Amino acid sequence: MGTWRAVTRVIMFVGMTLTLMPVQYVLVKTGLPGSRSLPMWYHRLLCRVIGIKVTIKGAPVTDRPVLICANHTSYLDIPVMSTVVPVSFIAKSEVASWPFFGQMAKLQRTVFVERERRTKTREHRNEIHGRIEAGDTLILFPEGTSSNGNQVLPFKSALMSVAQMSVVGEHGALDDMVMVQPVSVAYTRLHGIPMGRHYRPYFAWYGDMDLVPHLWEVFKTGPFDVVMEFHEPVSITQAGTRKALATYCEERVSDGVARAISGSEAA
């Protein structure tokens, strides 16, 4: 049954993706508003195909410039986090060269950064700021890599420096500072049963795991539940420093993941 389930899901995934990629390409090239919203609807459909049930806690910031900072467990974070509001991601530059998935990332208007080249930090920060000022909501994974899903790795603060920059409003005057909103993503249940440490690596993608075999297991194994919690946003003025801002986000996200995987929320 698992194999047939996976085959059906792969066919649906490839079919709808190849159908919508040319549409999104045209929307991006022409700058039409649909280039932001189509990926959201696509990912909602993709979650249904894979068998991902997303539970949302809290609310995303939608009325002011915002950078979302989240923990990173898997490539599955992309469809999960894309279901709520139109978003784009900040990803390592290597993703752009991945076959098929790299093109998908480009069509969602991903910002690619060279994490190992510190001299590029200011350039990347300015690009991120420009996108946020233009009305985009960007998602940053400050851990710099993916984890096993059972814990949150230390948050790096370099690209959070965008929060130190103000945003020009509609009339040319300085508007609000960029807000930063922590978001925790936790993979919690498999077929309605608490997942536990044994099954979470079926969905967490980290270390030297190969992408295609791991994705095949995901298609075979579902359905599964994910809890995504939007925490209280904060500004650099409230946090005090960039490092304090990173610490605040790390603590809120770590707490959200711990509560979700322990089941304390349900209790």
Which of 6-10, 22-26, 142-146, 198-202 is predicted with the least confidence, judged by mean pLDDT?
198-202
Q: What pLDDT, on a 0 to 100 scale, did the predictor assign at position 257?
A: 94
Query: Above 70 in pLDDT, residue 87?
Result: yes
Instruction: Reply yes or no on domain 2-262 having CATH 3.30.450.
Output: no
Give the pLDDT confidence of 237-247 residue by residue, as tens digits: 898 888 999 99
**Helical packing angle, 2-30 and 34-50, nearest 10°:** 180
Q: What pLDDT, on a 0 to 100 scale, did the predictor assign at position 167?
A: 73
pTM for the whole structure: 0.90
Q: Which residue has the tokens 């370099």?
A: 158
In this prediction, residues 36-51 reach a mean pLDDT of 95
**Percentage, residues of the chain above pLDDT 90:** 57
Query: Above 70 in pLDDT, residue 179?
Result: yes
Domain ranges of the chain: 2-262
What Å distances lie between residue 66 and 140, 149, 173, 176, 203, CA to CA? 11, 25, 18, 10, 28
What Å distances lie between residue 250 and 139, 166, 183, 184, 257, CA to CA? 14, 23, 9, 9, 11
Q: How many residues does the chain have?
A: 267
Alpha helices in the chain (DSSP H): 2-30, 34-50, 77-81, 101-107, 121-133, 196-199, 211-221, 236-239, 242-262
Which of 13-22, 112-121, 138-147 is predicted with the least confidence, judged by mean pLDDT?
112-121
Radius of gyration of the chain from its Cα atoms, rounded to whole angstroms = 18
**Structure confidence at residue 267 as a pLDDT band (50, 70, 90):** very low
Backbone torsion region of residue 163, taken as left when φ is above 0, otherwise alpha when ψ lies between -120 and 50, otherwise beta: alpha
More confident residue, 33 or 90: 90
Q: What is the DSSP string of 160-218?
A: GGGGGSEEE-TTSSEEEEPEEEEEEEEEEEETTEE-HHHHGGGT---TT--HHHHHHHH
